[in-house]
Amino acid sequence: MSQSATFDIRPLTPAIGAEILGADLAQLTNAQFASIHEALINHQVVFFRDQHLSCEQHIAFARRFGALQVHPMSQYNHPDHPELLRIHADENSKAVAGEIWHTDVSAQQEPPMASILYLKEVPAVGGDTLFASMTAAYDALSRPMQQFLEGLTAVHDGAKIWSKVSSVPPGASYPRSVHPVVAVHPDTGRKLLFVNQVFTSHVEGLSEHESETLLAMLYRHIENPKFMCRFRWQANSMAIWDNRCTQHQAIFDYFPARRSGLRATVSGTRPLAVDQAATQSVLSRDADLQAA
């Protein structure tokens, strides 16, 4: 257990996840918020229990991380608070959001920086969420494989998943973007795997067979329990994940029980490839030297 200035921060596994005790997310000082932000960067996903926030307070807390985005599939958004995505399952549900390993909305050019999920109602047992560290997954690859992947880009296509569940409004289209297969975390500089089963359609420049085989290998690699933690929800728990370096999977093992809550999504920036990150770091060192 490590102590922040204010809170007890209890890591769940060496690779990923920490539970933060003693925080009231409805009223945080700037110093307290800074220690939560730092814990998120260090542990990639952080969890809180026994939180009591209105929609407005949930939104206000999420905005401390950055501007919020409205989910592109607007039919799932809260009618009065479009920045909040409804996460809901009950006796009528045949499937739930997030059952397959994914990074949120990676089909966007600028995928979210973070997601902040607050569940008010949970099953007596079941409905856990798994989280996996994409920096740990990258670190565990052999050096030749890391080098091969660092030169590759992949297409992330919203139609791959959303065309099955809904159609876009007339004139609109599903988001579709090209991202590096290995990205660099903008805050930590750590390299990470940035492909996921839900949105990544193919790796550019490879044959279909090569792309499918490579992605299948990476998805199997990512599912190593050493890179994961598992969160057992209680009513009024909150999870915040750094969407730039994690994937998650919601386990739908609780039918017909109810599980219900809201997710705020914080806007992010374009994932940086290894060579772009190196160029940016040289440019920012240059700027520092000019300013000095």
Q: List the catalytic residue out of 58, 102, 156, 244.
A: 102
Per-residue interface string for the shown chain with ligand SIN, residues 3-42, x marking contact by CB under 6 A: ----------------------------------------
The minimum distance between CB 232 and ligand SIN, in angstroms, equals 11
**Closest to 112 measured CA to CA, from 102, 120, 97:** 102
Paired with 172 in beta bridges are: none
Whether 102 is catalytic: yes
Q: List the catalytic residue out of 43, 81, 104, 259.
A: 104
Per-residue interface string for the shown chain with ligand SIN, residues 242-261, x marking contact by CB under 6 A: ------x-x-----------
Indicate the residue among 106 and 115 with the shorter CB distance to ligand SIN: 115
Three-class HEC string of 112-144: CCEEEEEEEECCCCCCCEEEEEHHHHHHCCCHH
Query: DSSP letters of 25-55?
Result: TTS--HHHHHHHHHHHHHHSEEEE-S----H
Indicate the residue among 185 and 263 with the shorter CB distance to ligand SIN: 263
Helix or strand (DSSP H, E) at 209: helix 208-222
Count of residues engaged in binding ligand SIN, rule: CB under 6 A = 9
Interaction of residue 116 with ligand SIN, rule CB under 6 A: no
155: helix, strand or coil: strand
Q: Which distant-in-sequence residues (6+ apart) come within 8 Å of 21 by Cβ?
A: 7, 8, 9, 10, 49
**What's the one-letter identity of residue 79?**
P
Interaction of residue 268 with ligand SIN, rule CB under 6 A: no
The minimum distance between CB 103 and ligand SIN, in angstroms, equals 10
Whether 263 is catalytic: yes
Whether 248 is catalytic: yes
Indicate the residue among 117 and 229 with the shorter CB distance to ligand SIN: 117
Residues annotated catalytic, as ranges:
102, 104, 248, 263
